[in-house]
Structure 1
């Protein structure tokens, strides 16, 4: 129980400090673009009602989840192939480096041409940005599989799907999760950007509508919702990561305790 409370303190200490600084720094503000935090918090429950969450927050979360899932499946699958076969990696690496260097937001107008302006476009935009950290980390994770472990598996006749699942994927999973963590933050950014183009709902659309109508406190409440969404998703990701990679964290803890 003491460990849980201590972890909770470390999680909430910095946000609480930043909110306190924000509160006092903005308390006497008369700038229309920099309203006091108390005004923003007072406006929050009036804006983000249950109906607003259903109409704007839920669609954004569903698009983010779909794009992130597509990127995870595609990134891990292609990364496993590229990381396993040296010739495939030699052929694909120049193209991958070129595509990775293209910022996903600049592809939004291009994606709109063939995917339209509906939910598909937003999901494709999110997936196109999230796939690269997952794919590249998967490639590096597969390449870093211990050669002794691979040879031992081959000696025991562990080949094919069993080798990929029990040896390669398991050994590369810490690196894959590092890519998944990076992709999550990228996905939230692209979710907002995609909803600023030809959208009729979503968090990005709502924040822009508030900005265009000079509803500044309402706009700030949308930014707070985005921050809270990112925080909640990060916590959920950490819980999943610790459960899936429990063996890995256990090995690291044992290594630290050993003399």
Structure 2
């Protein structure tokens, strides 16, 4: 309990300071595009009712989860293959670097031609951007497997899927989770962008509708919901990461304590 309170204070201190600065700086604002924070907070419960959370927030979260899940599976599988075999890496790296350099929002019109304008398009857009940090971090993690451990496994006849599941993936898991963390941030951005194209619900759609209707305080409440969603997902990801990589964080803590 004593260790949780300082971390909670550090996590909430800066947001509280920024909110206070925003409140004071905008308190006397008469600009229609920059309403006072008190006006935005007063509008918040009227806009984000239970019905709107169910019809707009929930579909966005489900699309984000589906896109990130697809990106995680594809990125880890391809990254393991590319990182394990030098010849495959030599062949694939130029193509991967070319595709990685293409901004995913540019692909939205192209993806719409093949996937339509439904949820499938939005999931594909999210996955197309999230896959790269997972893939590239997996490749680097697989390449960084301790050669002594790899040789020991080979001498004991641990090959194939047993070698991947027991040695390669556990060794590369810190790098993989680093890629997943980056992918989560990218996924939230692409979730909003994809919902601004031919959508009928979702956070991106709602924010654009408020903007087009000059409901500026409502638009700002949507932006606040996005920020809160990112914060909550980050906390959940950290909890999962600490659970899965408990052995890794334990090793790092013990190495710091050792003289």
TM-score range, shorter chain: over 0.9
Q: Structure 2: how far apart are the matches of 1:162 and 1:4?
A: 38
CA offset digits 1:146-203 (Å, max 9, x no partner): 1011111112222111110110000000000000000000000000000000000000
Aligned to 1:87: 87
Aligned to 1:162: 162
SS in 1 for 2:76: helix
Aligned length: 259
Q: Structure 2: how far apart are the matches of 1:153 and 1:179?
A: 26
Query: Unpaired runs of 5+ in structure 1?
Result: none
Root-mean-square deviation (CA, aligned residues, Å) is 0.5
Aligned to 1:221: 221
SS in 2 for 1:2: coil
Aligned to 1:110: 110
Q: Structure 1: how far apart are the matches of 2:4 and 2:119?
A: 40
Q: Structure 2: how far apart are the matches of 1:11 and 1:239?
A: 14
Query: Unpaired runs of 5+ in structure 2?
Result: none
Q: TM-score, normalised by structure 2?
A: 0.99
SS in 1 for 2:207: helix
Deviation at 1:59, TM superposition (A): 0.3
Deviation at 1:37, TM superposition (A): 0.3
Aligned to 1:212: 212
Q: Structure 2: how far apart are the matches of 1:36 and 1:46?
A: 16
User: 1:167-246 to 2 correspondence within 5 Å?
Assistant: 167-246=167-246
Deviation at 1:112, TM superposition (A): 0.3
Deviation at 1:3, TM superposition (A): 0.4
CA offset digits 1:97-133 (Å, max 9, x no partner): 0000000000000000010000000000000000000
Q: Structure 2: how far apart are the matches of 1:86 and 1:115?
A: 34
Deviation at 1:242, TM superposition (A): 0.3
SS in 1 for 2:200: coil
Q: TM-score, normalised by structure 1?
A: 0.99
Q: Structure 2: how far apart are the matches of 1:222 and 1:177?
A: 29
Q: Structure 2: how far apart are the matches of 1:248 and 1:10?
A: 24
Q: Structure 1: how far apart are the matches of 2:251 and 2:131?
A: 29
Q: Structure 2: how far apart are the matches of 1:146 and 1:25?
A: 54
